[in-house]
Amino acid sequence: MQGKLTIDPSNQIAKVDDRLYSSLIEHLGRAVYDGLYDPDNAKSDENGFRQDVVKAIKDLNIDLVRYPGGNFVSGFNWEDSIGPKDQRPTRLDLAWRSIETNQFGLHEFMKWTQQTGTRPDMAVNLGSRGIDAARNLIEYCNFPGGTYWSDLRKKNGAEQPFNIKTWCLGNEMDGDWQIGHKTAEEYGRLAHETAKVMRLVDPDIDLVVSGSSTREMATFGSWEETVLDHTYDDVDYLSLHRYYDNEENDLHNFLAKSIDFDEFISGIVAVCDAVKARKHSDKTLNLALDEWNVWYHSHKQDDETAPWQNAPHLLEDHYNFEDALMVGTMLITLLKHSDRVKIACLAQLVNVIAPIMTDDQGIWLQSIFFPFMQVSKYGRGIALQPKQESATYDSKDFKDVPYLDSMAVYNPDTHEVVIFAENKGEEAMDFTTTLTSLTTTDLIEATQFYGYDIKQTNEDQRMQIQPNDHVSLDQGTLTTTLEPLSWNMFRIKVAD
């Protein structure tokens, strides 16, 4: 089997936004408690922050962390999470039918972002609450001082404002599972009014309005149109969420779902641009894919978990090798859409549908950790339009699926072109990449991630990225073999 990628540095998609490598921490299951915050654990510091988790997050080069949810935010009183810990109320978390002690709250989260080198992406509750709670929260976080809420922040130990830049206007408000679910009309009006008031407190914030929670919603498309009719001029990003599964146990159909992902993003871009045209607007709205991942292994566990526990085991998917290939092809798809997708949050980060898992003894890294880490580390710079040739296959739901999925990013700061390539086939692929009008000098690194059973998970920590020693680079053409079912990366030095 043959695969070919041609790259021309003058054919650029966009500069990749650092926020493409973001994530989500929700008060859900063991994400916060037992995950990033575990005061009784020997691996935690004096704040109760697990230091092994902090290190793994740094290795992932995460930029924004969306917080505190997810569905959780739609029933959350942010005021419960500030002030002396022994005075914070324990509440029912109705989204996940758990107990929330509020021992990790707003100030702890802000301190934790500093330690992890991440930035906050704060969601406001537009489910059970609304404009008043949102304006008070932003005054508490971003107003310098001299008012009730900003002085309370100082009293609680933060003299300087948090200056949180990015704010989400609720979460998945189109879903009837959401606390305070609304029609598009109701949500659009509320989002508009909330945005207006939040900007009166701090005009410099970026706002994300909630789009459809899945492509399968009956209101998909019309939800976005109605919501944007109300909010197009108020917001900076439209959110979208996408999770994939392999419930049907069909590897090739599963990996072909990157085509659905691609069409999903293009469709939402088209809706945004249609609203732009109708409004005769000069503004182009970008996307925040603020939840994406594979999610399905834990559905049975979730159904069987007893309600009203502290930090229950929920959504603890153990990812296998085929999931890592799916995450790899989703990352390539994101890079192809980096002209419009500016924020993307791998959902989630610790223990809950996450690349990092904890137990009392330490952490273990899931299969999906590896492709994410590589793209997050090296997929920085300018995404180049890929011109690809590959044999194709048909699967249950998709036609003409290329076996090869590939993408290149040119980093002018480090003078390197980085190629990500996935072979979705069960045969080895002869792979060539030609870099036109760039003088290549050296192959810096070539790696491959392959050879595991597709159902193998990584609790025993045996999975690792391996070097690929069979690569030749000659006058701008890289030649190698992509192993069957493999994720690959090549870093090539180019002359100035």
Binding site for ligand AHR (CB under 6 A): 26, 69-71, 171-172, 213, 291, 347-348
Using the structure block, give the residue that is written with the tokens 């793994």.
56
Query: At its nearest, how many Å lie between ligand AHR and the CB of residue 291?
Result: 5
From 291, 316, 416, 422, the catalytic residue: 291
| CA separation for the pair 312, 31 (Å, rounded) | 10
Query: At its nearest, how many Å lie between ligand AHR and the CB of residue 339?
Result: 25
Nearer to ligand AHR, 43 or 318 (CB): 318
Query: At its nearest, how many Å lie between ligand AHR and the CB of residue 172?
Result: 5
User: How many alpha carbons fall within 13 Å on the CB side of residue 48?
Assistant: 16
Nearer to ligand AHR, 61 or 351 (CB): 351
| CA separation for the pair 24, 67 (Å, rounded) | 6
Query: At its nearest, how many Å lie between ligand AHR and the CB of residue 309?
Result: 17
Q: Which pair of tokens denotes residue 339?
A: 């002209």
Query: At its nearest, how many Å lie between ligand AHR and the CB of residue 71?
Result: 4
Nearer to ligand AHR, 125 or 150 (CB): 125
Query: At its nearest, how many Å lie between ligand AHR and the CB of residue 213?
Result: 6
| CA separation for the pair 450, 426 (Å, rounded) | 11
Nearer to ligand AHR, 64 or 471 (CB): 64
Residues 6+ apart with CB under 8 A from 257: 244, 326, 397, 398
Active site annotation includes 216: no
Nearer to ligand AHR, 69 or 425 (CB): 69
Query: At its nearest, how many Å lie between ligand AHR and the CB of residue 175?
Result: 7
Nearer to ligand AHR, 164 or 347 (CB): 347
Using CB positions, name the residue nearest to ligand AHR.
70
| CA separation for the pair 291, 287 (Å, rounded) | 12
Nearer to ligand AHR, 254 or 292 (CB): 292
User: From the CB of residue 160, how many other CB atoms can be counted at a distance below 10 Å?
Assistant: 9
From 100, 139, 172, 316, the catalytic residue: 172
Active site annotation includes 193: no
Query: At its nearest, how many Å lie between ligand AHR and the CB of residue 183?
Result: 18
Q: Contact at 8 Å (CB) between 176 and 127?
A: no
| CA separation for the pair 208, 343 (Å, rounded) | 10
Nearer to ligand AHR, 268 or 473 (CB): 268
Nearest to 70 by CA among 36, 32, 17: 32
Q: Which residues are catalytic?
A: 172, 291
